[in-house]
Amino acid sequence: MNKKNILSLFKGVSINDWQDWRWQLKNRFTKIESINIFSAENLPHTKKTNSVTDIYPMAVTPYYLSLIKKSTGNDPVRIQCIPDLLEITFSQQYPDDPLNEHSYMTVPKLIHRYADRCLILVTEQCAVHCRHCNRKRFWTKSNRGNFKTRLSGFIRYLEKSPQIREVIISGGDPLIYDDETLESILASIKAIKHVEILRIGSRIPVVMPMRITKNLCQMLKRYRPLWFNTQFNSPAEITPDAARACNMLQETGIPVSNQSVLLKGINDSPGVMRRLLYGLQKISVRPYYLFHCEPVKGCGHFRVNIESGLKMMEFIRQECSGLALPQYVADLPGESGKIPLFGLSPKTKNELKKNQYFFDNFT
């Protein structure tokens, strides 16, 4: 598939339309039967797929769909965005909220898990519904309540919490909002004197890079120090458009880091992971974390055996320069947080064993 194939599904659409992020958002594919560029033998069974999307809806931007190179099931982009029956048949014993984020929501949609920082969920909406998402429990929930009410709740809590010096703006994806709305969030938080650092978590550079515009970057520049974390999981996602988006942020003085998830069939081979890390290094995006996939309901089929992950990382450490090495971590519930999975010490092994449901195959 390519841009031309996708554009053929629309009438009277120009390249300028394609480059407009609002057009991309408005024209997301939400039904598998609408993607008739799949050949008949490779089109997922509609009835079975609908049984998945009834629980976990589908949403894919035309841009991200155009990155699929194979209509068969082993394409890394396809696996991340096209519904799979395994989402509702595999590992259903896993929780919806494995990190128990709800218990740290001192106010609605604000997660205060660590003393000096908090995470705010400014929206439940994303440009693409990534099938491995650890918050896919929110997909069937529209933005509940008034946005201003939600933001006011965040600000009141932050003003009363002088220990918080860093705020992570997440969702959903905060860059779903237009510049004006996004700036209202940043300005409100930045006005609180003890908040020193802002961080944005977004897959927009990967799934809808045309959202990164000059106007957006100039606006973001006013709120530095601001850090930007994104998620490239496959070398196939590092396109000229994605590289350009990251470069625009970097030229504005905003560091861009990557937080991949180790995913079966996508990046769990040493060769693919090496290409991903080298590709990120080439576009000056720091490989920050490689997350061991969490045991999320609807995502169990993406999980890789922890020993396999450790063996792959041993290969990567021998093959790649330090600048290209992410930290392989497991994010555990509670204050334990992100545990490095590197030369497991007895203490780390004990911590993992206490969370046995996280690591079914760990002994």
For 44-78, what is each residue's pLDDT tens digit? 666 778 899 999 999 999 999 999 997 667 899 99
Please report, as a single letter, which amino acid is at residue 48: K
Distances (CA, A) of 297 to 79, 87, 127, 131, 134: 17, 8, 21, 11, 8
Q: How do residues 223-242 score in pLDDT, each as one tens digit?
A: 999 999 999 999 999 999 99
What is the pLDDT at residue 112?
96
Average pLDDT over residues 120-127: 96
CATH architecture of the domain with range 101-358: Alpha-Beta Barrel (3.20)
- For residue 3, give the H/E element and its range: helix 3-7
- For residue 274, give the H/E element and its range: helix 270-282
Distances (CA, A) of 212 to 1, 249, 253: 24, 8, 14
Q: How do residues 241-272 score in pLDDT, each as one tens digit?
A: 999 999 999 999 999 999 999 999 999 999 99
Mean pLDDT over all residues of the chain?
Answer: 91
Average pLDDT over residues 35-39: 61
Strand ranges, E, within 5-144: 105-107, 110-114, 117-121
What is the pLDDT at residue 56?
95
Determine how many CB atoms are found less than 10 A away from the CB of residue 340: 13
CA distance 251 to 181: 23
Among 105-109, 126-130, 174-178, the least confident range: 105-109
Higher pLDDT, 202 or 5: 202
CA atoms within 13 A on the CB side of 103: 8
Paired sense of beta strands 110-114 and 105-107, if any = antiparallel
Whether 40 has a pLDDT exceeding 70, the answer reads: no
CA distance 60 to 127: 7
Residue 351 in 3-state DSSP?
helix
What is the pLDDT at residue 363?
38
Paired sense of beta strands 197-201 and 105-107, if any = unpaired
Domain edges within the chain: 3-88, 101-358
Q: What is the pTM of this model?
A: 0.92
Task: Go through the chain and tell me how many residues it has.
Answer: 363
CA distance 131 to 92: 15
